[in-house]
Structure 1
């Protein structure tokens, strides 16, 4: 990429405050040319703008990041997709890479690091947060391909949970307090409590300890 080229980016995330923060943190030569907050609007906007890079959350209303990738990757060969998510779960990372994303970074990334990742993906490089690269390589070395479909070991119980409930489950299992989870996911403590109650009900568990053990047994932590 030439030094004077601007990387045109569409930002897709269902949290307005997070999108505002990303805009403020991204530096030159990145320009955010559009925003979307769910999968259907992302498909429409990206198809219309054909940006250089799409910063894409994994868990979105209306189908999730994988749905966006499946709809757009075949139609926009010049657009690159970089997943940006609070989740560092292997199944989330591998699913979006299989669907066509060029990289995956977590929301703990700094503004300078994210700017660098966007530029690199715009140059057709592949970018991962350091701890994520290993299991992606392991998954594909074991025979996984972009056409392999869902990650092996799909769990019917886990499938009952919404994307947001899975995020809350993983953070609970890692020992986060409700207030910390709310801060991570940009939701209120009351909303966190509601999601935890729903998870316990759907999984037929009684308390947070059982939930943590359930997640650990499935290597979701």
Structure 2
């Protein structure tokens, strides 16, 4: 029987692309049983479709992928296995998602055949990671990454502030951040001020160093 999958991502074009790719390369192996764009619709779609695997983006309106796993984990019945499929390759996102209950984490650069393979392996109970991301998880368990410290700092930031923080730390201008996140430059400035205040930093240069030291870039 084909592995039943629900695709959760807030970008409709990406969901359609993944669905089409799975219908082509995964025909007979993977069946897309539903789609969702935010936390609430994800919980509803997963509860209704009862898939084997959920392809879950990390950053979603309504609380993110971790909130989807938390809410479904508290729901009676057998929860599906979760495979994170995200554009983010930051250590903080990888480790936080795995701690939240995901069985694997792959980035959106993955090919169609590789994604089908990852889905079937997760459905069978394997843990699947993109090669570079596996190192983050190993480092976390080995103690090379101070996970508690990273989480404590990042817990001060909202999800949107984290997105702004990461882009600014990577060298994006305020205008580029605004375009990337579909918000105004004034909103970017407001989030940036809040990020610096919460992290007790004084400049974007300090922010870049802070993020780099924590392997968030």
Bin of the TM-score, shorter chain as denominator length:
0.7 to 0.9
CA shift, 1:216, in A, is 2.6
After TM superposition, list the pairs within 5 Å mapping 1:64-143 onto structure 2. Answer: 64-73=64-73, 75-77=76-78, 79-142=80-143
Question: Where does residue 34 of structure 2 map in the other structure?
Answer: 34
Runs of 5+ unmatched residues, structure 1: 145-149
Aligned partners of 1:55 and 1:82 also within 8 Å: yes
Q: Which structure dedicates a bigger proportion of its chain to helix? A: 2
CA shift, 1:192, in A, is 7.2
Call closer, same or farther: CA 1:124–1:218 in 2, change over 3 Å.
closer
Question: Where does residue 147 of structure 1 map in the other structure?
Answer: none
CA shift, 1:158, in A, is 3.6
Aligned positions, number: 207
Question: Where does residue 188 of structure 2 map in the other structure?
Answer: 196
Q: Distance in 1 between matches of 2:138 and 2:211?
A: 23
Give deviations 1:175-197, integer Å, cap 9, x for gaps.
457798789x6x54xx3745632
Q: Distance in 1 between matches of 2:33 and 2:178?
A: 29
Indicate yes or no: 2:158 matched with 1:169: no
Q: Distance in 2 between matches of 1:130 and 1:179?
A: 33
For normalisation by structure 1, the TM-score amounts to 0.78
For normalisation by structure 2, the TM-score amounts to 0.79
Give deviations 1:67-125, integer Å, cap 9, x for gaps.
21122246454621101112112222122212221100111222222122112111211
Q: Distance in 2 between matches of 1:160 and 1:136?
A: 23
**Aligned match for 1:6, one of 2, 8, 16:** 2
Runs of 5+ unmatched residues, structure 2: none
Question: Where does residue 153 of structure 1 map in the other structure?
Answer: 149
CA shift, 1:60, in A, is 1.3
Q: Distance in 2 between matches of 1:200 and 1:181?
A: 11
Look up the SS of the partner of 2:216 in the other structure.
coil
Deviates most, 210-219 or 23-32? 210-219
Q: What root-mean-square deviation, in Å, do the aligned CA atoms of Structure 1 and Structure 2 show?
A: 3.0
Q: Distance in 2 between matches of 1:122 and 1:181?
A: 37
Q: Distance in 1 between matches of 2:177 and 2:32?
A: 27
CA shift, 1:172, in A, is 3.5
Q: Distance in 1 between matches of 2:12 and 2:203?
A: 32
Q: Distance in 1 between matches of 2:125 and 2:208?
A: 39
CA shift, 1:157, in A, is 5.9
